[in-house]
Structure 1
Amino acid sequence: MKTRFLFSTLLATTALLSAAASAHTPDGTVTPNFSHSITNIPGKSLVAVEVAYPPGGASLPHSHAKSAFIYAYVVSGAIESQVDNQPARIYTAGQAFYEEPGAHHRISRNASKSEPAKLLAVFVVDTGDTPLTTPQK
């Protein structure tokens, strides 16, 4: 039974990391950082991805998995972000923001045309809820 649970957790983790890595960033890269089920909250997982933008790089407007609560921490540079109908805001290294489940991420881009920027996005999500990011049409 324990082996089956571990195997199921491994499959779910692999699926979540694959979904996170496929996030739509035409001018940046998304690198899986961490994924693990939250053992004291059955059915929930923690997934972290690193999003790196070159100077002037941006993601298309997108939404995330309906169950996803997201904490985003700017590691370096400056990131301009707009979630739902909130005003666009620029976050610099060391600052953070969050997205509620079901939020529409209208703007996510490097605020600089000359320096790269990087953020760490941490998802608390239903295990197996994929894709984690869906570009808006």
Structure 2
Amino acid sequence: MPEVTRELLQTTPIDGLPGWEMRLFLITYPPGADASNHSHPVPGVGMVLEGAIISAFDDDPEETFTAGQSFSDRASHHRVSRNASQTEPIKFLIAYAVRQGEPNTTWPSAK
């Protein structure tokens, strides 16, 4: 299965918050892609450009966001994050405020 791509479009220092930066990503999920079970140490805000994504944090119910809708990534466990379609890709923009040198997304360690 093709992998999810994460393209860093811009990194900008945050005025008034030394050591912090904004990161803007273009994320693409191919048809049927699933990137569930990761975490965000910082919150983010995004907007779906194409397609639909199914998302849920912790024990929250699943939500579907479609093209033109905005959404929030909580600083929490992203239990569900998958493409709602088996035939169409999804693309979305997402921005995070992050300490320089720190990750905005973490993945479970492979065993």
| TM-score (norm. length: structure 1) | 0.72
> Is the radius of gyration larger for structure 1 or structure 2?
1
Give the C-alpha shift of residue 31 in structure 1.
Answer: 0.8
Structure 2: 5+ residue stretches without partners: none
Percent of residue pairs bearing the same amino acid type: 38
Q: What's the CA shift string for 1:11-69, capped at 9, x where partnerless?
A: xxxxxxxxxxxxxxx731111111111122222210011110111112141012x3x22
Give the C-alpha shift of residue 132 in structure 1.
Answer: 2.5
Which shifted more, 37-46 or 48-57?
Answer: 37-46
The 2-side partners of 1:117 and 1:57 are apart by 9
For the aligned residue pairs, the C-alpha RMSD in angstroms reads 1.6
Q: Is the 8 A contact 1:47 1:122 kept in 2?
A: yes
Give the C-alpha shift of residue 118 in structure 1.
Answer: 0.7
The 2-side partners of 1:59 and 1:100 are apart by 16
The 2-side partners of 1:44 and 1:100 are apart by 18
Q: Is the 8 A contact 2:57 2:74 kept in 1?
A: no
The 2-side partners of 1:55 and 1:95 are apart by 19
The 2-side partners of 1:80 and 1:113 are apart by 12
Higher helix share: 1
Q: Superposition pairs for residues 23-62 of structure 1, below 5 Å?
A: 27-62=3-38
Aligned to 2:66: 92
**Aligned residues, how many?**
108
| Poorly superposed stretches of 4+, deviation over 3 Å | none
Q: What's the CA shift string for 1:99-132, capped at 9, x where partnerless?
A: 232x100111110111111111110112221x32
Q: Is the 8 A contact 2:56 2:79 kept in 1?
A: yes
The 2-side partners of 1:28 and 1:100 are apart by 20
Q: Give 2:22's aligned amino acid.
A: L
Aligned to 1:106: 79
